Amino acid sequence: MDDEREVLLAIAHLINRFGYETVCTTETSQALMLLSLRRFDAIVTDLRLSMPSGGVFASQAAILAPDVPLIVVTGAGDLQEISDLLGDTRVEAILPKATLNGGLVKALARSVASGKDAREAGQGARLMADGLVRALALRDVETEAHSRRVSAWTLMLAQRLGVPKQDWLRAELGGLLHDIGKFGVPDAILRKPGTLTEDEWVEMRRHPLLGCTILSGIPALAGAVDIVRSHHERWDGAGYPDRLGGDDIPWHARIFALVDTYDALTCDRPYRKGRCHSAAIEVIRAEAARQFDPRVVEALLDTPEPEWLSVPRIFADGHASG
């Protein structure tokens, strides 16, 4: 990925000489579409792109392909500028364009070797999760885009909080499948346009346990169970289904609970318009140590706004952008 065609072709030619196949583009929108449709062994991108900035593109690439190593090539010589553009995005290597030859071949070899096993192990689970989310979307049309947004945000905060890389797939799958138990909720309740009765709420609140039942027969998706079961627990112990509190709530579920609430606050509903980003942040800040783990709230507050808001732009509109 480079917005200068001549540079792009030169780097692609160099990569091809090393024996790799390349897919090239000068358009960030096309690059993001490709990442959403295909799996790659590595991403090689310029740092400073005209639109959006290289830092934003790098973070979007990390959201769409979290287990694909990111190699940044740059003409920038200022380390502070490089740091500012990348933010907290994790990269395999940062290489100056002037001396690409040896460095790029080593970075590619290291990236492909280190990431291949992890990608192959996770791909089957992702395909199954994608299929289940698409099936659920046939009953609840808002579910798919919502699930993909909250999955991406959960992964983003898990990385920021230092969750080990081997656990990232659990965060991603749990976010995608958190509402899978709604398969067991009757249509009359799931699609009801008005307020649910108390008895209907009792039925709706069964969906975390129903989700665990569905996943219990699919070993590849077992990592999603923490979020599926516990995504409605609260830090103060007033949630459901197990009334867990504090550190008894699994890490991934604590992260997810926050991003699920953020998505609910910022999405438009038939009966209200979604709140802007800053208003949603204030609601979440007020619920620290009550509804949410304060450490997760702090991680959200520390996330640059453009990086956070890149997620709804990738997966759907319907959110406030400021």
What is the set of active-site residues?
182
What does each C-alpha distance from 251 to 158, 171, 246, 316, 320 come to in angstroms?
9, 9, 10, 27, 28
What does each C-alpha distance from 41 to 35, 65, 108, 115, 129 come to in angstroms?
11, 10, 9, 7, 21
Q: What three-state secondary structure class fits 71?
A: strand
Cβ-contact 47, 2 below 8 angstroms: no
Helix axes 143-160, 168-177, angle to 10 degrees: 160
Q: What are the residues whose beta carbons fall under 8 Å from the beta carbon of 215, sequence distance 6 or more?
A: 177, 180, 221, 222, 224, 225, 228
Q: Quick count: other Cβ atoms within 10 Å of Cβ 197?
A: 11
Cβ-contact 251, 264 below 8 angstroms: no
The maximal CA–CA distance of the chain, rounded, in angstroms, is: 68
Q: What are the residues whose beta carbons fall under 8 Å from the beta carbon of 310, sequence distance 6 or more?
A: 52, 56, 59, 60, 63
Tokens (6 digits) for 185:
């909720």
- The b-or-e profile of 121-153 (16+ CB within 10 A means b, else e) is ebeebbebbeebbeebeeebeebbbbbbbbbbb
